[in-house]
Chain A
Amino acid sequence: MSSHVSDESARSWTAATRRQLERRLPWENLLPDRQPLWVGSWVYVFGVVTIAALVWVILSGTILALFGPQWWHLSRAGRFFNSLHFWSVQVFFVFMVLHLWGQYFMASWREGRAPTWMVGVVTFAVSIVAAFTGYLSQQNFDAQWIAVNAKDAVNSTGVGGFFNVLNFGQMYGLHVMLLPIGITLLVVLHIMQVRMKGVVPPLEENGKPTARQRKLNGK
């Protein structure tokens, strides 16, 4: 009987997933309290600031969605949260691009980290669509101006039939529901991938340690 259960467990996708996670993402990787010495650089802070900005984007966006356009245009508190949402998006994009530059120049796709890089690229692309639908959801003349101009660009790509920038309900629904969920899931996946593979080590100069690595090693 017990061997029968064991056979079933061996074929179960739940058990296979559990074994994969136990092997590739042990607790000490998921929640590490130590990092390699090279992580002690401001360049590694860019990604964390991007995540912090995303938290502010989601919190301020949730409040805006709760109270609605009249509130965010006419009341003092609404204007404050509208600005908070706008500026946290600016910080999110600025630091995401700085994070991209940092990872590009240290070739962070090395040593099996290409999927991590690609998920980052997809997150960037989805974030641009989220920001675009956000500009269309402002409920002001700026949003109308952007929508009327963008419709020609979007229609020229052939996706205008199911992505209608003049349809406020569709743009607002995408902006407050599907795209934030997508970005959050992608960011969680991105962090899990970094936790699985570890932070990429610094580049070497023609196979030799860099000046920074020699300094860190005390040589």
Chain B
Amino acid sequence: MDQPAGYLHWGFILISYPNLILIGIMIVLFIAALLLPFPGHASDGRERKS
């Protein structure tokens, strides 16, 4: 933990692996939020209780 993080250097892109992994997790979370069904989601009415 006291060592500096490793870096990905690809052309003009320079990013640490922890940041790259975090961005990857965020993209996965975002896509999952779009695709996963929301619990208690009724399709018979125009409104739902919040």
Also in contact, A98 and B38, with CB within 8 A (given A37-B48, A39-B48): no
> Measured between alpha carbons, how far is A45 from B40 in the docked complex, in Å?
14
Number of B residues with CB within 8 Å of any CB on chain A: 20
- Checking B26, B30, B36, B47 against A34 with a beta-carbon cut-off of 8 angstroms, the contacting residue is B47
Cβ of A215 within 8 Å of any chain B Cβ, yes or no, is yes
Number of A residues with CB within 8 Å of any CB on chain B: 21
Question: Interface code B6-50, partner A: CB below 8 Å = 1, 0 otherwise?
Answer: 000000000000000010001001101110101011111111111
Whole-angstrom distance from the CB of A196 to the nearest CB of chain B? 16
Q: Chain A residues near B26 (CB, 8 Å)?
A: 94, 97-98
Interface residues of B (CB under 8 A from A): 22, 26, 29-30, 32-34, 36, 38, 40-50
Provide a sorted-by-A list of 13 A–B residue pairs whose CB atoms are within 8 angstroms. Answer: A34-B47, A34-B50, A36-B46, A37-B43, A37-B47, A39-B48, A40-B48, A43-B34, A45-B33, A46-B33, A94-B26, A98-B33, A101-B30
Interface residues of A (CB under 8 A from B): 32-37, 39-43, 45-46, 94, 97-98, 101-102, 215-216, 218
